[in-house]
Chains A and B, each alone.
Chain A
Amino acid sequence: MIARSAHWALSLLMLLLLAACGPFAGQAAQPTTIAQGFQAAIATSEARNDQRSLAIIYYERANYAFDQGDFVTAIEDFQKVIELEPSNSRAYNNLGLAYAALGRDEDAINAYNSAIEYDRDYVRAYKNRLVLLEKHKRLPELVSSYARLAELEPLQAATYHYLRGVALRSLNDNQGARQAFDLALAADPELNDALYERGLLNFAEGLLAEAIWDFDHALALSPRAANVYYARALALQSLERHEQAIEDFSQALILQPNTPSYLLGRASSWLALGNHSEASADLVRARAGQLDQTLQLAADAIERALERTQE
């Protein structure tokens, strides 16, 4: 029994040895570099006039060049693939990646567009294009990309609807944004970002009770989100509920101390309540931080109001 098994083993081991050393045995004749390997494969495919395998080899070589950081070669090879197979959406996508790696964003976007044109469901291409569209803030295209991705990736739909809503908000299409946020929240009722953004939208449209409802729920999910406290505080301020607003401003400041906008918000509520010492203390703290132009205006307004009342 043992002897028989041993012979079995022996033969198997020999097989393994052969396999391991096979390429090594023909060392001298075989290509040594990967590039030469591709070249040889291209030559055989051309000799056989096999378009399909030629395209595959170019594609592989392009990917290889890309991984080596040689984007120029990668672009050339991807373009050869596209010449051979004009509707090869994968090649377009990877071409786009190579352009993007070289910083040629416009070419990259066009390549991704072609990839999407030939494959309407090409999630990768959409996502790659998204990177550039987000970078260049091309909002109308972003909106349609998010919409399509929400269809293509139902599991991520909530997030995409939310992002679409944000983009629409930037385009000042509040109605569209509201629909997008509602869709996002229908897909995922716990999407706290969408709750917050819808709250802002409600707030902007003067629906203060609805806005506060949204903020309350966002805070129930994310009790450490300082900017939601801030937003709710501003909403309460609009309702002249200054004491509550101050509580929320203070909570936001506990979470993110010395944030100028929170301090200025609280200062304006103190001002409305006539507590000038607290207001000016907050103003001084806010001034110590980085103020953007709008905050600068607000700080000036508070300061002037304080000056007037001191007279």
Chain B
Amino acid sequence: MQTSRRLQWLTSRIVELELLTTAFLVLFGGLAALTLTKSVLISTFELGMLGLFVLIMYLTSFAMAWRGWGENQVILPMAALLASCSVIMLQRLGPDLLARYGEAYQQIAFKQTIWVLVGTVLAALIIFVPWRIYWLRHYRYTWLLLGIVLVVVTIFFGVERNGARLWLNLGFLQFQPVELLKLLLVIYFATYLDDHRDLIGLGHYRIFGISLPPLPYLLPLVLMWGLTMGLMIIQRDLGVALLFAIVMLTMLYLVTAQIGYVVTGIVLFVLGAALIYPYFGYVRIRFISWYNPWFDPSGAGYQIIQALYSLASGGLFGLGLGQGNPASVPESHTDFIFTSLGEELGLLGTLAITGCYLLFACQGYIVALRARDGFQQLLAAGLTTALVAQAFIIMAGTTNLIPLTGITLPFVSYGGSSMLMSFVIIGMLLRISASNKPAYVL
């Protein structure tokens, strides 16, 4: 009986173990291919770091199995796989970027490895530290205040980069506050909507013959509109504005089940974008270079044309790791890392990554479906949407499906803030997905 119990916990997360192993096969297979074809030298220290990453991942999996709360088994390996792709690609891009743009790109692969490692530890902490999900509801105004302070601080002390004021210089690192803001927003919104769920469901009243929803219902819409407009005008960050709009509208829809308000939200967002369209050149440029990149092929359309060429060169099977020239696309290690992957791994690779995100979305929504209560359901759906919608916006943008907006590809793009927040999101999703967690962490 004792033995069978032991065996049982060992095998309870066999799918996760299998998937993790596959992910690490990809990681080390990719690194080996790079070493052989591109003669990239990966330092022992870096290899040690990656080994640590693998170890923590396995340990987390085993620890979850031993604890037996029954977390989702696909989410963690998904993160591991995408982070592996990121490490491989940055190892591959690092020397090219260094040669092309110089000093600023020193050791980006190493830095990314550190971020991945820190992210993994962060996720493990969220999974294993016994915090209560209830706290998220309880301290709602703390989160709201923190979010507002972040926005204000960024507006006044932010560092401008590529025309968007998105960065806070903390001295030792450049921090992207919108990433944290994204998380805070989802938490606050989930709290708010869950609190007012009943009220929002009730009837309408009329002013001047126009049918209006009750005020608390209007508030989230107005908030959404104001926030996204603020982001677009003050921070000139179209991507994050779009992401916030999508997340909020999705959560709104989940609570109300009324498509009308989603339509209203979309109309408001488009109206906002249309309003600033004539005054803000960057919106116009984004739109024009999406609609026809050939309008200004050496200027506004340059990046997207290079990206399309990069993808097309990749073809079905890709040029092979280290064989292409992905660094010719500006921002190839951040916003355009997806096309870099596409050039070297081909359609198969890009489809696999797309599939990963799709799978992640499905798993996230399944977690939401099975959540214990309305709040956790909203939270899980919101977090999932935040992550996969971000992936969609940048993937669709770099493939010229929708207008390009600068935003990171979660887990893959170079950058600490994004990496850490993505790991925090999966940590929380795993916590929510634990189907038989004890009451003291509820």
Residues of A within 8 A of B (CB): 1-3, 5-6, 8-10, 12-24, 27, 30, 32, 34, 37, 124
Contacts and interface: CB of A to CB of B under 8 A. Distances in A.
Nearest to A12: B355
Interface residues of chain A: helix, strand, loop or mixed (majority) = helix
B363 A5 contact: yes
B72 A16 contact: no
A2 B74 contact: yes
B401 interface: no
For the complex of A and B, 5 pairs with smallest distance between CB atoms: A23-B320, A16-B352, A19-B348, A24-B33, A19-B349
Interface in B14-51: 15, 18-19, 22-23, 25-26, 29-30, 32-33, 36-37
Contacts of A16: 26, 81, 85, 345, 348-349, 352-353, 356
Contacts of A32: 37
Interface string B335-376: 000000000011011011101100100110010000000000
B29 A2 contact: no
B321 interface: yes
Interface residues on chain B, size class:
35 or more
A238 to B, nearest CB: 42
B74 A12 contact: no
B298 interface: yes
25 contacts: A1-B366, A2-B72, A2-B366, A3-B15, A5-B362, A9-B356, A12-B352, A12-B356, A13-B81, A14-B22, A15-B348, A15-B351, A15-B352, A16-B85, A16-B345, A17-B29, A19-B318, A19-B349, A20-B29, A20-B30, A21-B30, A22-B348, A23-B33, A24-B33, A30-B320
B256 to A, nearest CB: 26
Given A2-B74, A17-B26, A19-B352, A10 B18 contact: yes
B359 A9 contact: yes
Given A5-B363, A12-B355, A12-B356, A23 B23 contact: no
Contact of A27 (B22, B29, B37, B73): B37
Nearest to A25: B33
A10 B22 contact: yes
A13 B26 contact: yes
Interface in B63-91: 72-74, 77-78, 81, 85, 88
Given A12-B356, A13-B22, A23 B319 contact: yes
Contact of B37 (A2, A8, A12, A24): A24
Nearest to B296: A155
Interface residues of chain B: helix, strand, loop or mixed (majority) = helix
B37 A20 contact: no
Contacts of B85: 16
A21 B77 CA distance: 19
Contacts of A3: 15
Nearest to A14: B22
B19 A9 contact: yes
A34 B324 CA distance: 9
Interface in B244-279: none
B392 interface: no
Contacts, number: 103
A32 to B, nearest CB: 7
A124 B302 CA distance: 14
B320 A22 contact: yes
Nearest to A127: B298
A27 B366 CA distance: 42
Contacts of A2: 15, 72-74, 366
B105 interface: no
Contacts of A22: 317-318, 320, 346, 348
A13 B321 contact: no
B323 interface: yes
Q: Which of B23, B320, B362 has the most chain A CB atoms inside 10 A of its CB?
A: B320
Q: Which of A1, A2, A32 has the most chain B CB atoms inside 10 A of its CB?
A: A2
Nearest to B25: A17
Contacts of A17: 22, 25-26, 29
Contacts of B36: 24, 27
A18 B26 CA distance: 9
A85 B351 CA distance: 37
Contacts of B345: 16, 19-20
Nearest to A27: B36
B352 A13 contact: yes
B349 A13 contact: no
B366 to A, nearest CB: 6
Given A15-B352, A16-B353, A19-B352, A5 B359 contact: yes
B380 to A, nearest CB: 15
A161 B392 CA distance: 45
Contacts of B318: 19, 22-23
Nearest to B297: A124
A6 B32 contact: no
Contacts of A12: 352, 355-356, 359
A10 B74 CA distance: 10
A166 B429 CA distance: 66
A159 B31 CA distance: 51
Nearest to A19: B348
B23 A13 contact: yes
A71 to B, nearest CB: 19
Given A14-B22, A20-B29, A32-B37, A8 B351 contact: no
Contacts of B73: 2, 6
A24 B28 CA distance: 13
A19 B317 contact: yes
B21 to A, nearest CB: 10
A13 B16 CA distance: 13
Q: Which of B81, B85, B352, B356 has the most chain A CB atoms inside 10 A of its CB?
A: B352
Nearest to B319: A23
